[in-house]
Structure formats: structure tokens, C-alpha cells
Structure 1
Amino acid sequence: MTRTWHVSTVTDAARARIATARLAAAHGVTAVERTRLVTALTAHLRQCLTKGGEWRLGVEATACPGESGLFVVEVASVANRTTDARLPWRVTAPFPADGGGSGAEHVGDDPETLAEALFSADEDAAVLLEKLDEQEQLVAFHREELHQTNQGVLALHAELDAAGRAQRELFAAEQKAHAEAERARGRLTFLADASAALTASLNHDAIVRLLPGLLVPRYARTVDVWLFGDGDDERAGDHRSRAHPAAAVLAARRGRPQYAADHPGDLPGVDDQPPSALEPGRPKLCIPLMTRGAPLGVLTLSPPEARWDADDAVMLIELTRRASIALENARRFEHNRDIAETLQRALLTDLPTTPGLHLAARYLPATHGLNIGGDWYDAFRQPDGSLITVIGDVTGHGLHAAVMMSQLRTALRAYAVDGGSPGELLTHLHTFLHHLQPDLYATAVIARFHPDDPTLTWAAAGHPPPVLRTPDGQVHTLDAKPGAMLGIPLRQVIGDHTVPLPPGSTLALYTDGLVERRAQGIDPGIGRLATALAAFEPTDLDRDLEGSADRLLQPLLHDSEHDDDVCLLLCHIHSDAARIREAAHSGTRA
């Protein structure tokens, strides 16, 4: 369908506009599209009238069956002037497939027709405005929805940010708690290890030397141990301290830790003091080494960094308390050890002097524990001029064993006054010990030398066998049928044994501490003793028996640590014993 109008006046333009609007409505063009089309056409026709001349307005509606159509409005100049030689102006609008095709083709010039057309145009405008209002409401609705959505998104972001911040804070707190737990575990582990190291030693000076090595550099930059109470007993590791901070003096007097610095320490259980005049720029923590009686001294520390935290200070105070206990135990042990050694040596008598027969004895207390035990040696003369030498070992260790050793020694001397061979004397000691102390046992070897008899008589009761070196350098182990231990609940008679004893012979009596080692037993030790004894020259034994005893012990105790006491008694017949005895008798008669 095609319609055409010629427009040269305003009336022509109005009629064409009205007709176009009616045709658009007849074809089903929507009011919105119709209003857009008519409005655009009106504006263009106004421009055409302003230019003047005659214009052709054509309307064409094309559609295929069953498909939507296109309503096309085209305006072109009739005169086709050169200035207007351009493409026609065109506007289009869609219409539905079932849109009609009839409409008013002629519009009259009367005012009534024009007014009706004007009202019709206003109706389309009203529909458009209504549509615009709906769109505005819809836009306002969506704007409100968008605003609410934005508010929700902002709130969600705020919640997520708060949750993230809380999670970060929780993670930081967890990390801090984990680090603090690790530090606490480290402090407890250090305290346990340091306490074990301190209590493992009973050497007073070793404990003092150990403290700096434990604390530097982890918990202290410097360590000074000030000890007092026993004269010039003032130590600090391997150097002596002369001047001490005033806070250390206060710590000793008050029995409380003191912190000397130009700032408060805020340490639990510690009093704050002004900085030390000795080192004003370095804080000092002075902790008294307290015991149940009186303070032993003061431990003065400087921090490894700027200052200590409270937990480190508590740990250091506890470590100092344990060090105090270790030092007090070491002092008591050393005091008791000195008493025990004095008692032990007082019980070991001086060896008698016999012409032609030299004696040398050595006693070495055990390197572990209280240095007193039941090992003993003795030598004394019998009424017939014989020389009795004895070495023994009472089971056990400590003061009780030493007391029993003293009683056995006294009993042996009492029995020997009436004479008797070594076997008889051991038999008496066995009966004596069994009735005196049923639960205590002893071992012993007794050897008898007679100046007019070149024979050695000996007897053993559960003791390591004597070792005899003959003048030719041969060494013999005297292990012929020994008796059982003294004091066991068994009736026994211990027999005597004899062996030739030419001049130049050396008899070695010893306790098991010299030859026995836990991992090897006793036989290898006896073999080492025999080898060492065989290595001496006869002149060495004649000239210096004391030095020979020292040289004999050296290879046997090369490990320097032994779990048991060691006793050694060397009995040497001089190579020229007859001449020496004769000279001694001549001097006596003179």
C-alpha cells in the first residue's frame, strides 16, 4: 500500500500529517511508535516549509503474510533542486502482521476535521506520556532495588571485611599463642636440662664454671657468680671478681632478686634499683643463691638484648634456686668427703721398717661418690719377729664399711699377738665377722715374712690372688686353693700356702679395684698387673720401691676414673737382704 501527498503549504502539511497518523493507526503501529513517527515527520515538514517549494510525502506499508510489516514515511523535494540533491528523508515504524490497511485517505480542510486530528494527536501524546510515566516508575523501582542491592552489597562487604579482620586477628593471636607456647616449652626444656647438668656434679668449682656456659648467650650476655662465706671463696667462672654492684649486695642482704637499671624492670618478685655505678648503661639482674641456712652468694646477669621479659626472669630465678641447691649439696659432699678421707687415712697405719724388706703402699679412693670405703692394708710384727702384711676389702661403701674395716684390722692385730699363721688368723677373722655382723662380708690376703726363713707363707679368703715377681723377672699368680669370703654363714678352716722367697723377690697385694673392670672382669686386669710388674728392673725395685709403686699404678689406672677404691701393697726382699740384715744386727749390738 502506497500513498502520496504534495505539500507546499501549512494546510497541506497538516492534512498529510493527519493522514499519515491515521494510516499508521490503521496498520496497527503502536501509539509510542506512531507518536515518534508523527513527531519526527512534523519537525521535518516544518523544515521543508521553511525552505519553501513543493514537497512530496509518500507512505508505504509493506508486509508479507504471517510476518510483521514496516511502515515507511518518505519526504522528498518535487522540484529536485540542485541544493536538495540528496537522499530523501525517511522514517520507519514496525507494525504487526495482522495490521489493517484501511484508513482515511482524504482529510478535509474544515476546522472540525483539524480539531479532531489535533485531539487524536493529543491522545497519542497522552499514551506516550503514560508510557513514559510507567517507565519512570519502573526506573525508580529498579533504582530503589539497585540502591537496596548496593546497600546489601556494602553491608556484605562490611561483614566480609569484619570477618576477614577478625580471622586475621584470630590467626595472629593463634600465632602469638603458639610462639609463646614454644618459648615456654623451650624455657622448661632448658630448665630441665640445666638442672640435670647442675645436679649431675658434686664438684663445687665445676658447678660454678658450668653456670656461664648454660646461660650465655641465650639468656644472658654476661654472668658473674659471687660466692662468699669460706674465706677467699669468691669465684666467677674462671676469673675472680673484685667489685660487685650495689644491687648484688642488696640481694644478699634482703634475700630477694634486685634489678638495677635506668628504667623499671616490671619483673615479678624482683625489686627495682638505680643503675649500677660499675656499668650504668647495662641493666643487671642480681639473684641471691639462697640456702636453708644463709645465702651462698649472688648470681649477677646482664640481658642478652635490651631487657628480659617476665617469664624469662621467673625461669632464671628458679634456675638460680636449683643452682643454690646443687652448690649446697656439693659443699656438703666436699665437707663430708674431706672428713671421710681424713678418717680413712687415719685408719691406714704407717708401714714398719724392716732391714732387707721394703714396703710401699698406695690407697686411692673411688672417683665417684663419697671417697671412703672398706679397702685397707696393714703391716705389723708378731712376737716371734715375723712381719704380717695384710690387705682386705669389706663389702659395701661409705662410713659403715670403714668402721667395720677398722674393727677387722684391730681384731687381726689382737689375734696376731698370740702368734698364728696367716690361715689361722683368717679363720679367726671369719668367725669374728660372722658373729659380729652377720650381713657383712669381707675378703683378705695375709702374707707372713720371717727374717730367718726364705719362705713366704700366705693365705687368702675370697680375695684376688697375690702376684709374686721372682729375681729372674718371672711373675707368678699365687692362686692355690683360697678360702671363701669372711663372714659367710659357713664353717670353714682356711689353710696356709708357702712358696720360696729368694732375695730380689717382690710380692704385690692388691684389692679388686685395681684390676677389675665391669666390661672385662678381673682376669685381664691381673694379667696387666703381672705384665707391668715384670717390666721392672731388679735395681729399680731395690733403689726406689715408692717410685716403682707409682709407675706400676699408672698403666693400670690410665682411664683415671674407677668405681671402687684401690689398695696396693708392695713387699720387696732386697737383692742384698742378708748383708743389710747383718749390718743392722751389727749396729744394734754396737
Structure 2
Amino acid sequence: MTHTWRIRTVTDAARARIAVARLAAAHGVPTVARARLAAALSGQLRQCLTKGGVWVLTLDGPGSPAGAGTLHATVVPAPGAGAAGRAPWTVTVPCPEPGRVSDAGPVTEEPADLSEALLGADEDTAAVLDKLAEQEELVAFHREELHQTNQGVLALHAELDAAGRAQREAFAAERRAREEAENARRRLTFLADASAVLNASLNHDEIVRRLPELLVPRYAHHVDVWLFDQEDDRYRPTSHPRAAVHAARTGRPQYAAGRPGGLPGVDDQPPSALDPGRPLLCIPLLTRRAPLGVLTLSPPGERWDPDDAVMLLELARRAGTAIDNARRFEHNRDIAETLQRALLTDLPATPGLSLAARYLPATHGLNIGGDWYDAFRQRDGGLITVVGDVTGHGLHAAVMMSQLRTALRAYAVDGDSPGRLLTRLHGYLRHLQPDLFATAVIARFHPDGRTLTWAAAGHPPPVLRLPDGRVRTLDAKPGAMLGIPLKQDIGDHTERLPPGSTLALYTDGLVERRARGIDPGIERLAAALGSFGSAELDADLEDSADRILRPLLSDSERDDDVCLLLCHLRG
């Protein structure tokens, strides 16, 4: 249905607005939409009244073709009002309940009707305000939620930032810890390798020479080694810094530089007058008794890292111990070698019999063992030859060897046979040194010059070369090692010797090698002895001894002493 109102005055406008509002309410238009329609219509009608003239308000309801399911309001100038050509004003609102009513009733100009319409408009406005209040509350609620969300996001960002900083700090700390661990591993590896190098040698000059090679240029720019009891040592500088002298007197490390070094366990000193612009670290080389020297270092850069300085102090302590051990070893070696050389007497001259002896110390260890040889005459004119080996090395073995040698000479005065002599030496050693053992072989050349009696106790067998070049190993049953806790009577063995025969007595250091055992070595000795002719042995037995040793000792490293005694019956 279509409704039309002509608007000329304010009263016409009020009546039309009231009618439209009633029709909208009758058709079920919601309060907010109805208030919006009324407000828009009131504004347009106010403009029309301001412009003047007659205006026509048309409202098409849900039943009209133009307003199916809606209310459609149009305001246009009345025909002939002089406002033709103006665009119409329109507004449309939906009708949830179209067709409820066809007419809202007439609107009069009575004050009661107008007042009622005004109150109805106020009710719509109040409803709109209530809706607005609800929306404001909802907006305030969502604003608070948004604020709380923003605060949570800000807190989360702060936590993420703090976690990021903590992670970066943890990564940095881990990197520093890894670098420190790597540096510590590098220092420990260097210290272990350097200690192995220093302790590998028993020559103190070699240790002093290796120290600069180990430290330059990684941990020092320059190294000086000052040993107190070697004023002519080539490694000693011409003059010593004051800090080095102070370190020698106090036994404490000293650091001489223009500013304190802050090195742990090191005393600070003024810069050296010899070189004021170069820092110096002077470390005493300590031993169990007293300092034996001072190690003076200059840094590879401006100064040392404190951890590097601690490592250098430990290296100097180990170097001092290594030098002291080397000197002790050299001292004991010299004593033992002097004693042993003194005991290896000259061989006696015997008609018809040539003797040649060789003694070579081991190339490892103290170089002095218990190997010995001897040859002397008995009262009846017979000649006793002996080669023996006392277990162990060093001064103690050399002393025990001298005692056995002396005891053997004393027992031989009575004219005992080789087996009887070894039996008596066995008893002597058991009572003298129950924990010491020895091996020996004794050969007695009878006065007739054609008979050989020999006996062995735990010793490698003698090797006999006959005049025709054949070689025999005299391996008849020997006695056990001397000094073992066992009573034994060692037997004699006798051989007839034609002129031109050669007998070789030796110790196991000549023929025994760890990788091959002793039997291949005895075979090589027999082959070397059989390669000579009788004329060569008659002419120069000394040269023959050297030529026998040469192929047997082709390897330069020996773990044991070597002793060889050749006895040749001249043809």
C-alpha cells in the first residue's frame, strides 16, 4: 500500500513523520531502524521547509510494487511547485513482518496526538540509546580484551627478547668455554709432548739444546738457559738480567717489565737494564736439592697469557727434573764404566794360543751391565778363560761382576776344573746375594795345548771352529743359572783340539734379539766364524774379532751388553 502526504508547514511535516513512524512500527520495523528512518526523514523535511514550497512524501509499504518486503519513503517537490527537476530524496528500510497492517490511523493536529507522538519518538530514542550503551559496553569489553591481549603480546615479546638474550649469552658462554677448553687441551698436549721429548734423552746437553726448539716461536721469542755449574756452556748468555739473578737467589719466578704482568706465582720486577723495552720471564730450574739454573724467556707478543705462563712454569719444573736426572745418570754411568773398564784386564800372552776380546756396552739405558770376560793361568800352566753375565745393569751389576771375577780367580788357585769352579761360584752367589743371578761359561786349555775342558751354567754354548772349517756348537748338558735356590753340581766336558782350532765364548747380547730369539743368532755366529780360514785367524785374530762382530751387530740399537772372547790354537 502507498501513502502520500503533502508538506507545506511544520505541522504537515510533524504529522507526516508521526504517520511514517507509526506505519514502520505497525510493519514490525526494529526500533533502531525505525529511529534511523525517523531521524533521516526529519532532517530531510527540515531542509524542505527551509527551502519553502510544497513537497510530497510518499511511503510505499510491503504490499506495493516498489516496496516488496520493505518500506520505501520518497520526498519530491509537488507538481507545479517550481522545484521541478530536483532529484528525489529516498530511503528504504526492511520490514520483518510485511502486511501486518494496512493503515496506522489518521494523525490529527491535536496537541495530545502530537505529544503522544513526541513521547513515542523519545521511547525509540531511549531504545536506541540503550542499544548504544550495550554496544559501548561491548566495545569497552573488547577494548579491554584487546588491551589485555596487547599486554600479553608485549609480555610475550619481552619474554622472547629476554630468552633471545639469554640464548645469545649462553651461546657466547659456550663458545668461550669451548675456546678455553681447546686452549687448555692445546697447552696440556704441548706440555705432554715437550715432557716426552725432555725425558727421552739422558744427556743434559741435549735437553738444554731442545728447550729453545720446543718454545720458539710458539711460546717465546727468545730463550736463554743459564746453568750455574757450566760457566763455559755455549747456551749461557754473556750476561744475566737482574731478574734472572734474583730468581736464582730466591728460587721464585720473576717477571721484569715496565708494568706488572699479573702472572700467577710470579714476582714483578723493574725492566731489565740489558733490554728495557722487552719483558722477561725468569724461571728457576728447580731440583729436589737446589736450583741448578734459570730459564729466561721473552714473549712472542707483547705479554704472556696467564694460563700460558702457568704452563711455562710447569714445563720449567719438568725441565729442571729432566736435567737433574740426566746428570745423575751420567754421573753413575761414568762411575760404573770406569769400574768395569778397570776390571776388564789385559789378556795374558800364551805360547801357541792367541786371545782376542771385545766388550761393547748397550746403546740403551745406563750402558753398563754385568758382562765380563777374563783369562789367567793356573799353577800347572793351564789357561782359564771365562765369559759371564750378571743380571741387571748399572753400578750394582758392575760391582757384583767384580766380586764374582775376584772369587773365581781365588777358587782357581786350587786348580779346580771349570765345572767345580762354577759349582763353587753358585754357592758363593746364593749366600752373598740370594736375589741376584748370573750365567757363565769357563773353558780350560790344558798345559799340553791339545785338550779343552769346559763347563757352562745357564750360558749360551761355546762355538768351536775346527781347522777344516767345520763349526760345532758345544751344547752338552749345561748347569743351571748361578744363584738360583737349588743345589747343583755342574759337570765338565772335554774336547780334543787339533792345531788351528778356534773357540768363541760370548754373552747373549751378541746373539739374542727380541724378535728372533737366540738360536738364529748362534747360527749366524757359527756362520761368521766358519767363513774364516786358519791362515787369517793365525795372522790377525784382533781383526778377525772385529769382522765377526760387524755383521752380527748391524743393527745400531742394542738392549744388552756384548762380550766376545776368541781363543785360537795357532797351527
Establish whether residue 509 from structure 1 lines up as the match of residue 505 from structure 2: yes
- TM-aligned CA distance change 1:480 to 1:142, over 3 Å: closer
Between the aligned partners of 2:251 and 2:208, the Cα distance in structure 1 is: 20
- Label 1:405 to 1:113 Cα distance change in 2 as closer, same or farther (>3 A): closer
What code does the residue aligned with 2:255 have?
Answer: Y
Q: Distance in 2 between matches of 1:225 and 1:388?
A: 57
1:231 partner amino acid = Q
Q: In 2, Cα distance between the equivalents of 1:316 and 1:371?
A: 33
Q: 2:499 is matched by which residue type in structure 1?
A: P
Structure 1 pair 151–437 and aligned structure 2 pair: CA distance change class (3 A):
closer
Question: Cα distance, 1:334 vs. partner?
Answer: 1.5
Matched, 1:5 2:5: yes
1:527 correspondence with 2:523: yes
CA offset digits 1:446-494 (Å, max 9, x no partner)? 3344676344444433322222334444333233444444455334253
Q: Which residue of 2 aligns with 1:73?
A: 73
Deviates more, 1:269-278 or 1:114-123: 114-123
Residue 394 of structure 1 is aligned with which of 390, 393, 405?
Answer: 390
Q: Note closer, same or farther for the CA distance 1:306–1:472 as it changes in structure 2 (3 Å cut).
A: farther
CA distance in 2, matches of 1:246, 1:115: 120
1:38-89: CA deviation from partner (whole Å, max 9, x where unpaired): 222233334445555543321122179xxx9422212234439998557643
Contact 1:456-1:501 within 8 A present in 2 as well: no
Q: Specify whether residues 257 and 543 from structure 1 end up closer, same or farther in structure 2 by C-alpha distance, changes over 3 A only.
A: farther
1:226-265 equivalences under 5 Å are: 226-232=225-231, 234=233, 241-242=237-238, 244-265=240-261
SS in structure 2 of the partner of residue 453 of structure 1: coil
1:326 to 322, 325, 342: 322
Match of 1:375? 371
Q: How many residues align?
A: 567
Please state whether the residue corresponding to 2:90 is helix, strand or coil. strand
1:565 maps to which residue? 561
The residue type equivalent to 2:568 in the other structure is H
Contact kept in structure 2, 1:374 and 1:404, CA below 8 Å: yes
- Counterparts of 2:164 and 2:433 in 1: how far apart (Å)? 82
Query: Could you say what secondary structure the match of 1:72 adopts?
Result: strand
Distance 1:100 1:242, change over 3 A: farther
Distance 1:82 1:477, change over 3 A: farther
**Could you state the TM-score of these two structures normalised by the residue count of structure 1?**
0.82
Counterpart residue number, 1:582:
none
Q: CA 1:121/1:372 → structure 2, altered by over 3 Å: closer, same or farther?
A: same
Aligned to 2:61, the other structure's residue is in SS state: strand
Q: Could you tell me how far apart the structure 1 residues matched to 2:250 and 2:143 are? A: 80
1:340 maps to 336
Shift of the 116–490 alpha-carbon distance from structure 1 to 2, 3 Å rule, reads: closer
Separation in structure 2 between the aligned mates of residue 241 and residue 439 of structure 1, nearest angstrom? 50
CA distance in 1: counterparts of 2:197 and 2:273, whole angstroms: 34
Paired with 1:16 and 1:241, the residues of 2 have a C-alpha distance of 125
Distance 2:274 2:560 in 1: 49
- 1:353 equivalent in alignment to 2:349: yes
Which one of 438, 456, 459 corresponds to residue 460 of structure 1?
A: 456
Structure 2 residue corresponding to 1:497, chosen from 484, 494, 498: 494
* Matched-pair contact (CA < 8 Å) for 1:467–1:508: yes
Question: Contact 1:251 / 1:258 at 8 angstroms: preserved in 2?
Answer: yes
d(CA) in 2 for partners of 1:550, 1:280: 61
- Residue 169 of structure 2 aligns with which residue? 169
Tell me, yes or no, if the aligned pair for 2:271 and 2:277 is still in contact at 8 Å.
yes
Contact kept, 8 Å, 1:459 with 1:496, in 2: the verdict is yes
State the AA in 1 paired with 2:252.
R
RMSD: 3.7
2-structure distance, mates of 1:234, 1:7: 134
Percent identical across equivalent pairs?
72
Q: Secondary structure of the equivalent of 1:298?
A: strand
Match in the other structure for 2:541: 545
Moved more, 457-466 or 136-145: 136-145
Counterpart Cα distance in 1 of 2:107 and 2:191: 115
Contact 1:226 1:235 in 2 (8 A): no
Following the alignment from structure 1 to structure 2, what is the Cα–Cα distance between the partners of residues 266 and 336?
42
Cα 1:141–1:447 shift into 2, 3 Å = closer
Q: Secondary structure at the match of 1:62?
A: coil
Change beyond 3 A, Cα 1:425–1:9: closer
Equivalent-residue separation in structure 1 for 2:241 and 2:144 (angstroms)? 78
The corresponding residue for 1:300 is 296
Q: Is the 8 A contact 1:256 1:288 kept in 2?
A: yes
| Partners of 1:533 and 1:552 within 8 A in 2 | yes
Contact 1:226 1:234 in 2 (8 A): no
Q: Establish whether residue 409 from structure 1 lines up as the match of residue 414 from structure 2.
A: no
Deviation at 1:213, TM superposition (A): 5.7
Q: Does residue 552 of structure 2 align to residue 556 of structure 1?
A: yes
Cα deviation, 1:218-241, whole Å, max 9, x if unaligned, reads: 6x14463514133257466xxx65
Give the structure 2 partner of residue 38 of structure 1: 38
Please list every run of 5 or more consecutive structure 1 residues that lacks an aligned counterpart in the other structure. Answer: 576-590
